[in-house]
Chains A and B, each alone.
Chain A
Amino acid sequence: MDQTPAIMAEGLRKRYGDVTAVDGVSLEVARGEFYGILGPNGAGKTTTMEMLEGLRRPDEGSARLLGEPSWPRDPRLLRRIGVQLQASAFFEKLTAREQIRTFGALYGVPPEAADAMLAKVGLTEKAGVRDDQLSGGQAQRLSIACALVHDPELVFLDEPTTGLDPQARRNLWDLLRTINAEGRTVVLTTHYMDEAQQLCDRVAVMDHGKVLRVGAPAALIEELGVESLEDVFLALTGREYRE
C-alpha cells in the first residue's frame, strides 16, 4: 500500500473575526489508522475537521489528504474520501434506499452497489422508510453508509454516536471497527471518552484551538498516571464548565 500519510496537516490556523478558532494545528494520520480528535465544545475540533476535509480554506497552513492538497477543491481527491457531516444531511422526503442511491450516483456508483452498502449497515429492512421516520441509530447508520457508498480510502465522521442509546452506540462501534478493519483510515470527533478509548488507535486532545497531546489512549493514560482516557481528558483540558 501507498505509504504517504492519510493526513498530513501543518500549521492550520483559522480566525473568525477576533476569535482564533484553530491556532496552529499540525496532525499526521497514518494509512489504516483509527484516529480520534477529542476536545470540549468550542475547542476547534469541527473547524479543524472542516479544514482537513477541504470545506474551509485555512488562513494559514495546509492539509494534504492521501498526498493531495485538500484545498482548493479537487474532484479526483473527493472520490477517495468519505465525509459524514451530521445525521440529518439527507434529501427531503426520500427513502433510505433513494438517499443512498442518490449519494452513490454523485460518485458514479451503480444502484446495486448502493443497495449492498445499505445491507452492510443493516438497513435493508428499512430501505423503503423515509429519513425522518428512521430512529436515531438508523439515521446515523444511513448517514455513515452514504459516506461510504463510493468505497473511500479515508473517512471523516463527525460525532457519529451523539444522541444514541447504549445499544445503538455499541452497534455502531462494531460497524466502525469493520470499516477500519477493511483497511480504511477513519478520523472521528467525539465527546465520549470511552468510545475513543475503545475504538481509536491514537487520539489528539484539543483545546483553545491547539493540539495539547497526541498518542495512543493507553500510552496517554500511563503517561499521566490516571485510570482512563476521561481522566486524561480532564487533566489536560481542566474541569471548568464549558458552554
Chain B
Amino acid sequence: MTGFVSLSRAMALGLLRDRAAVFFTLVFPLMFLLLFGALFKDTSANAVKVVQVGNVAVFDGLPEKERERLRPVLEIERTSGSKAALEQALEKVRKGEVDGVVYQSDAGSGARTDIGGRDAGTDGQVELRVSAADPAKAGSVRGIVSSIVQEENLRATGQPPRYTLGTHRVEDESVQAIQFLTPGLLGWAVAMGAVFGTAYNLVSWRKKRILRRLWLAPIGTGSVVGARVGVNLALALAQTAIFLAVATLPYYGLQLTGDWWLCVPLVLSATLAFMSIGLVVGAWAKTEEAANGLAQLIVLPMAFLSGSFFPLDSAPEWVQTVSRFLPLRHLADALQGVLSRGESWGTALPVIGGLLLFGAVLTLIARSMFRWDTA
C-alpha cells in the first residue's frame, strides 16, 4: 500500500513540476475555451443605440416605468438640437457607430416630412434615420421607435387599448457556442493529458530503466499501473472541474442541466480509453520525441475530426463517418448531452461502455507490443 501511495505521489509531483505538461494539458485548452467562448458569445442582437438630437416630445415624456422597460433594448444618447449636432449624428449612422437618429421636426414649421406631408393635426413629427447597412438592426430600431410613438398616440387619446399583445419567450433549444465548446475542448484536453502522459511516461521509464528497477522491487504490477491510472484520472477530474468552473461563469453562461454529474464517469472512462492509445504509442515509440510526435499526430486530427473546435454539421459525409470511430467524438457528444441538454443515463451509458471497450482492446494490443528495454 505504501508503495502505491508513494508511486502515485512521485508521478503526481513529476507531472505537476513538468511545466510543459501542465501548460499543454491545462492552460492551453483553457486558453481556447476563454478565447472561443468570448468570440462566439451571444451573437444575437444587443440593445440598439439611437442618438436623440434635441427635444423629442414622445421620448422626453416617457414615464419612468416605461424607460425602465425599454432600457435592455434601447440605448438613447442625447445631444443638443443644433444643425451641426444633427449632421454629426447622421454621420455616426453612416459609419455604423450608432443604429439610428431621432429628432423632431415641429408641426407646421415647414420642415420637409417623409410621410407624405400628412402632418395636419399632429403635435410633432418624429423623424428617424437608420442606416441601410444592417437591415436587421434597422428593422428593430424602426420597430422600437414606432411602438413608442404608437403607444404615446394611444395614451394621448385617453382610450384604453382595444387590443393588447401577449408575448412569452420560448425556451431556446438551439446549441449555444459555450454548450458546444465546453465538452469539445474539455474532451481534447483530457485526450492530450491521457495520451501524451501515458506515452511519454512509458517510453521514458523504459529508457531510464525504471520499469526494470520496479520489476526488481517487491511491488505488484497492480500498484504501478494503478498509480499511473490514478494520477491520470485525477488530472482528468481536475481538468473537468476547471473547465466547468470557467464555462459556468456568468460571462460564459453555460447552464448545467439535471444529470450533469454524469460527465464524471464519462470523463473517467474516456481517460482510460485515451490512456490505452497512449500505451500503444508508448509501446511502439523508442524515444520520447517519437512518442510525442506520434501522440500529436493522433490527438490533433482526432480533435478536429471529432468537432472539438468547430461543429461538424456542415462537414462532408466521410468526415462524419470517420468521426464515429473516434472515442473523442462520442465523449464530446455525450458530454454535451448530459452537461447542458438535459440528457441522462440513456446518453451516457452506451458511451461509457463503448469507451471502456475501446480501452480494453487497445490495452491488449499495447500489451502484445510491450517491451521492457529499448534495444
Name A's B-contacting residues (CB within 8 A): 53-55, 73, 75-76, 78-79, 81, 83, 85-86, 88-94, 98, 101-103, 105-108
Contacts and interface: CB of A to CB of B under 8 A. Distances in A.
A91 B216 contact: no
B13 interface: yes
B215 interface: yes
Contacts of A55: 212, 215-216, 372
A107 B218 contact: yes
Nearest to B200: A92
Given A92-B204, A94-B13, A101-B6, A106 B218 contact: yes
Contacts of B69: none
Nearest to A109: B2
A209 to B, nearest CB: 17
Given A75-B220, A93-B13, A107-B218, 10 more contacts: A54-B216, A55-B216, A78-B216, A85-B209, A86-B208, A88-B208, A89-B213, A92-B204, A101-B6, A108-B3
A103 B9 CA distance: 12
Contacts of B11: 91
A88 B205 CA distance: 10
Interface string B205-240: 000111011111111100000000000000000000
Contacts of A85: 209, 212-213
Contacts, number: 71
B10 A98 contact: yes
Contact of B6 (A76, A81, A102): A102
B192 to A, nearest CB: 18
Nearest to A146: B213
A94 B10 contact: yes
B13 A98 contact: yes
B108 to A, nearest CB: 86
A106 B219 contact: yes
A78 B18 CA distance: 32
Contacts of B14: 91-94
Contact of B2 (A54, A86, A108): A108
A65 to B, nearest CB: 11
14 contacts: A75-B218, A78-B216, A83-B213, A86-B209, A88-B208, A89-B209, A89-B210, A89-B213, A90-B208, A92-B14, A92-B17, A93-B18, A102-B10, A105-B5
B6 A105 contact: yes
Nearest to B11: A91
A88 B213 CA distance: 11
B312 interface: no
Contact-residue bracket for chain B:
20 to 34
A107 B3 CA distance: 7
A102 B7 contact: yes
Nearest to A101: B6
Contact of B9 (A79, A81, A102, A108): A102
A83 B216 contact: yes
B289 to A, nearest CB: 16
Among A73, A92, A105, chain B packs the most CB atoms within 10 A around the CB of A92
B217 A78 contact: yes
B237 to A, nearest CB: 22
Contacts of A54: 216
Contacts of A76: 218
A75 B219 CA distance: 7
A55 B215 CA distance: 8
Interface in B1-43: 2-3, 5-7, 9-11, 13-14, 17-18
A103 B217 contact: yes
A54 B212 CA distance: 10
Given A85-B209, A90-B208, A53 B9 contact: no
Contacts of B372: 55
Contacts of B2: 105, 108
A85 B10 CA distance: 19
Q: Which of B3, B7, B217 gathers most chain A CB within 10 Å?
A: B217
Nearest to A82: B216
A210 B14 CA distance: 42
Contacts of B214: 106
B18 to A, nearest CB: 6
Contacts of B218: 75-76, 78-79, 106-107
Contacts of B6: 101-102, 105-106
B213 to A, nearest CB: 5
B190 to A, nearest CB: 21
Contacts of B219: 75, 106
Nearest to B5: A105
A55 B216 CA distance: 7
